[in-house]
Amino acid sequence: MDKIRITGGKPLQGTISIQGSKNSALPMMAASLLHRGVSVLKGCPAIADVYCMEDILRSLGALTWWEKNTLYLDCSRADGTEVSGDSTGKMRSSVILLGALLARNKKGSMGYPGGCVIGKRPVDQHLYVLRCLGAWVEEKENSLEAEAGCLKGAEIVFGKISVGATEQGILAAVLAEGHTVLRNCAREPEIVWLCRYLRSMGAEIQGEGTHCIRITGVKELKAGNMQIPPDRIVAGTYLCAAAATRGKITISNPPEGELDAFLEVYGKMGGQYNRRSGKLIADGSGTAFPVPFLETDTYPGFPTDLQSPLMAVLTTIPGKSRIRENIFENRFRIAKELNKMGASVAVSGREASIQGGTCLRGCTVRARELRGGAALLVAALAAQGETVIEGCSFIYRGYEHICEDLASLGAQIEEDTGTAFL
Ligand SMILES: CC(=O)N[C@H]1[C@@H](OP(=O)(O)OP(=O)(O)OC[C@H]2O[C@@H](n3ccc(=O)[nH]c3=O)[C@H](O)[C@@H]2O)O[C@H](CO)[C@@H](O)[C@@H]1O
Ligand SMILES: C=C(OP(=O)(O)O)C(=O)O
């Protein structure tokens, strides 16, 4: 079950639709806790992280159910305040529930957040914003404890731009007393979607998508009901898979304007694309040019989550490419696995140098985190012969039916269940 087998070498061809965004769905699920009734998230991806967040909300007293990809969350009685470390240890974004718990139930106690090991990932900015809003917060060795009789609006400047801490601040401030100004906020699309969702619930928020978000607390929020946007990282991953195999794919529901930094690099590599009737038509057959230098950055810069899948593409392009990873210091672990397949990637600190165009050959490799796992899939699709990817539970954290999707594009791929999609 934890393995995927791929026989590479076939250009991907066909049309694909993109699942709902993981990183939008998770904070929207946390936001649903702020309404004492039923909220509805349409197009919710059926992936391990969403199931984990669902389990946590249920452990707090919420009722949840699915109709296809629509997730219903009845938080009428979600009055629990304790989240076990078993759940939080599975997923980094569990930590944003602390602000939602404080806003709703005045206190929260949770195990330390776990998730993919891609860097140190401290939570200081999360705790800072909650303290600024008047909460008492204690960081213990394995848990986080917080209490607030009443959260009060404040002017807060984040010491570091953080997606999760910005979400934490927003979730805690929407029901706080008075005005909150959050400065040095992350501008990622997922923050914008969270604010749209909260505004549809009656929250008063302005400025999302800029570095300064202003919130006026309201007494209560009504039910949320929203379509989750397509996942920009999944869309980028499939474009990488098409480029690595020199294939041509059409994305029927591309994310709107959220992939610009990636598409710029895609164009530099020789990929072509155009938008027609709301679709993104991508032709990766001309992918041939290395990328002399690329660095990851906060949005709208090149997303760190697409850095590893892109590295896999660059291993297939003759010439030297160089990547600098500025967000997570430990996101190059995948280089070792790519090298096992015949790639030539040298890592030095925050930089990776890729001598592309060496012949990739299938072998057994191991995923150790989500996007690194996706990069192995991209490389395996381009490699000669069979690749077995172990540790695929990391991939299923974020990709809904990825094997079926790639098989529908002509890939020879099967999960270890023995189910072949040929
Ligand atoms: C569930 C989710 O949405 N995950 C995304 C989110 O993760 P996440 O929200 O964890 O990422 P952050 O934006 O918080 O992290 C950015 C940087 O800030 C540092 N930092 C963060 C918080 C803090 O309190 N102190 C601190 O120093 C981190 O170690 C990292 O170096 O944004 C990342 C950056 O786009 C993406 O790669 C993840 O896919
Ligand atoms: C790093 C990621 O997720 P998380 O922040 O949940 O670990 C990711 O989606 O690439």
pLDDT in tens, 85-121: 998 999 999 999 999 999 999 999 999 998 888 988 9
Interval 214-223 mean pLDDT: 98
**ipTM exceeds 0.90:** yes
Type of residue found at 377: L
Residues 27, 422 contacting (CB under 8 angstroms): no
Distance 385 CA to ligand 2 centre (A): 30
* CATH architecture of the domain covering 4-19+230-415: Alpha-beta prism (3.65)
Q: Is the pLDDT of residue 379 over 70?
A: yes
- Does the CB atom of residue 53 touch ligand 2 within 6 A? no
Distance 20 CA to ligand 2 centre (A): 15
Interval 353-370 mean pLDDT: 96
Instruction: Please identify which residue in the block is written with the tokens 């919130």.
Output: 215
Strands (E), 269-339: 272-276, 279-283, 294-295, 319-324
SS3 252: coil
- pTM exceeds cut of 0.95: yes
Q: Whose CA is nearest to atom 10 of ligand 2?
A: 305
Rounded to 5°, the CA angle 75-78-80 comes to 165
Distance 221 CA to ligand 2 centre (A): 28
Please write the tens of the pLDDT for every residue from 280-299: 999 999 999 999 999 999 99
Q: Whose CA is nearest to atom 12 of ligand 1?
A: 162
Residue 320: C-alpha distances to residues 239, 291, 294, 307, 345 (Å): 21, 7, 12, 16, 10
- Does the CB atom of residue 397 touch ligand 1 within 6 A? no
Q: Whose CA is nearest to atom 27 of ligand 1?
A: 122
Instruction: Please identify which residue in the block is written with the tokens 């959220």.
Output: 258
- 43 token code pair: 């197009």
Start and end residues for every CATH 3.65.10.10 domain found in the chain: 4-19+230-415, 22-227
Atom of ligand 2 nearest to the CA of 328: 1
| Nearest one of 286, 283, 331 to 306, comparing CA atoms | 331
Q: Please name the fold of domain 22-227.
A: UDP-n-acetylglucosamine1-carboxyvinyl-transferase; Chain (3.65.10)
- Does the CB atom of residue 220 touch ligand 1 within 6 A? no
Residue 406 main-chain phi, psi, to 5 deg: -70, -35
Residue 51: C-alpha distances to residues 5, 71, 367 (Å): 25, 10, 21
User: Dihedral angle at the C-alpha atoms of 290, 292, 297, 299, nearest 10 degrees?
Assistant: -50
- Does the CB atom of residue 178 touch ligand 1 within 6 A? no
Residues 282, 250 contacting (CB under 8 angstroms): yes
| Nearest one of 70, 61, 43 to 101, comparing CA atoms | 61
